[in-house]
Chain A
Amino acid sequence: MDEEKRAGKSEDAEEVREILSVVSKEVPALIKGIIASVFSEEAGRGMGKAAAAFYKELKESGMPDEVAVKMTENYISVFTSLGDLMKKFTEGKEKPTKLEKEIEEIVEEAVEEAREKGISERLEEEIERRVKEKLAEKGLLEEEE
């Protein structure tokens, strides 16, 4: 029994060693590749050429200098939006809007009330009625604006 346990633990250690061996080779190579694709001299030169060509076209079409520079900045921000992309990945699910929260509260209130009164038949109608009221309220507010 002891020998079996020892053999099992040995196998686990060997497995961990193999995993770390692969990870220590592949992860740095992967990160290096990603960095090289964006932050190498070659990549910078390529991006500079693309941005310069874009600017040149804008100037040739008669665009004022300031506007052409601003548009070139927006063009470059397509590549720099990598930061925004990462933000979306790390922040995860979007937070619910105010309206979604209010609807959730209405549903919870209606369910609680129905539970207290022992009514379950008209629950669906009641929830629908209250949600429609809330949406109509929001619709009215938007029209006024």
Chain B
Amino acid sequence: MKITAIIRAGLHLIKLILNLGFLWLTLGWKVRKARRAFEKELIKGGIPKEAAKKLGKKYASVKDEIMRQIRGSIWRMRH
């Protein structure tokens, strides 16, 4: 009974890690897709292409900021 519970807990943990890993891997792709859609709408609205690219970069920078904060939090937890 106990061993079964431990094995099942382990499987849930593996499932959690795999799901989080998948989310992390697909995050970059999702950000790129969202950024392209964002820039397309900006250009459609009359914003110059260069300016739209600059704004798109700012939009995508949120992801980098979030990853930096998560890494920082993990580092602070360890030390």
Contacts and interface: CB of A to CB of B under 8 A. Distances in A.
Interface of A: 6, 9-10, 13-14, 16-17, 20-21, 23-24, 27-28, 31-32, 35, 38-45, 47-49, 51-53, 55-56, 59, 65, 69, 72-73, 76-77, 79-80, 82-83, 86-87, 90
What is the size category of the interface that chain B forms with chain A?
35 or more
Nearest to A45: B37
Given A20-B12, A40-B34, A49 B59 contact: no
Contacts of B6: 13, 17
A82 B23 CA distance: 19
B45 A17 contact: no
Interface of B: 1-2, 5-6, 8-9, 12-13, 15-16, 19-20, 23, 27, 30-31, 33-42, 44-48, 51, 54-55, 58-59, 61-63, 65-66, 68-69, 72-73, 76
B9 A48 contact: no
Ranked 3 nearest A-B pairs via Cβ: A52-B45, A48-B41, A83-B65
Contacts of A43: 34
A82 B9 contact: no
